[in-house]
Amino acid sequence: MLSGKNILIGITGGIAAYKICELIRMFKRYNANVRVICTPNAMNFVTKLTLQNLSQNEVGIEEFEIPDYKPEHISYADEADIMVIAPVTANTIGKIANGLCDNLLTSVVSAFKKPVIIAPAMNCNMWENGIIQENIEKLRKFGYEIVDPESGFLACGSEGTGRLCSLEKIFDRTVEILNSKKKLLNKKIVITAGGTIENIDPVRYISNYSSGKMGIALADIASSQGAEVVLISTVDVSRGYKVVKVKSALEMQEAVENEFDTADCVIMAAAVADYRVKNIACQKMKKTSENEITIDLIKNPDILKEISEKKTSQIVVGFCAESENLIENAKEKIVKKGCDYLIANDISRKDIGFSSDFNEVTILSKNGEMKKLERADKRQIAKQIFEVIYGQKCDCTDNREFCTSKSC
């Protein structure tokens, strides 16, 4: 399954570096060509000779070991199809996130234009540090694939999140990226994300808890599968595809209408406020002696229903967030809205939904069919949603053990 694929592995100076020897063997077992770059500190945990024997290639460590005319960091970047950095220390994460190139590995990353998988490993307190998390989020925004560390007993004796994730998870993600086909090529996918904001006055507003993570995950997956993506978002997003920043429901409606006629699919993943303030105060509303205040609200347009009524060849997908009677309410809503698919979320659960990186949804179709997607990270949920929408059957006859499709 990896024949002809060139995988570049980066190893940094963490105790989990020894585990990467087995990862190299896993890639080699499936006929990949593997090259390895190490930071100088990684040599405290694993030997160059071991890595060379396993990869059957020279191991790069020093930045200026130039065997020919071509600078080595450019040579590594040009030859590889994907770069896998594991384990990644907090130090190297900070360097990559801020564009520092003080060794061969960080220089290669800065010149690498193809997919990069980053698998962090460190002490739990370091992982939870706000600066580290900010750097991780920065890397996500620039398109780096982060495979989060797992919780358990750490080498330092602490218990918590920070240990390198399983090698199988890194391997599977690498295979998935390398073998992904552009299944949405020539499709224009319009996606909304986030919770709308309805002003009360210049300093107050009505909104909801939507983080936009599900919509962003859908946009990321659609883009990775070759689609022309337009993300209409109430939260700041920095990606390679088109992002239209909006605030209110009316602004979102206008943005969706601007893109609708040329869209192949519209996915309304945003949490659009049902009501807005009738008369927005021009100045900050002052507190009075009264114990109560009345604010008049009026209905916002039902964007999902309106675009469903005027669709021609477009596929229209809606989301519904319910705290009770999930399926019953979703069945009623898909008929009322008239969309092709409705994705039902249970927001009463703390382990999925709003602000979580995980979700569990049920997809209803206008034909009465239902498919439940079990709890998984939102990128995996997004991928499965597109498989349902576009009826993608598995064509990876040689890769069945890595396919999530039940048709295999």
User: What are the residue numbers of the active site?
Assistant: 156
Indicate left, alpha or beta for 297 from its phi (over 0: left) and psi (-120 to 50: alpha): beta
Indicate left, alpha or beta for 103 from its phi (over 0: left) and psi (-120 to 50: alpha): beta
Interstrand relation of 6-11 and 204-206 (parallel, antiparallel or unpaired) = unpaired
* Alpha-carbon separation of residue 109 from 82, 92, 94, 144, 408 (angstroms): 11, 11, 13, 10, 36
Contact 252, 304 (CB under 8 A): no
DSSP states of 261-330: TT-SEEEE-SB--SEEESS--SSPPPP-S-S-----EEEPP-HHHHHHHH-SS-EEEEEEEESS-HHHHH
Contact 267, 191 (CB under 8 A): yes
What is the C-alpha separation between 120 and 161, in angstroms, rounded?
A: 11
Neighbours of 400 (CB within 10 A): 10
Element (H, E) at 37: strand 33-38
What is the C-alpha separation between 60 and 42, in angstroms, rounded?
A: 12
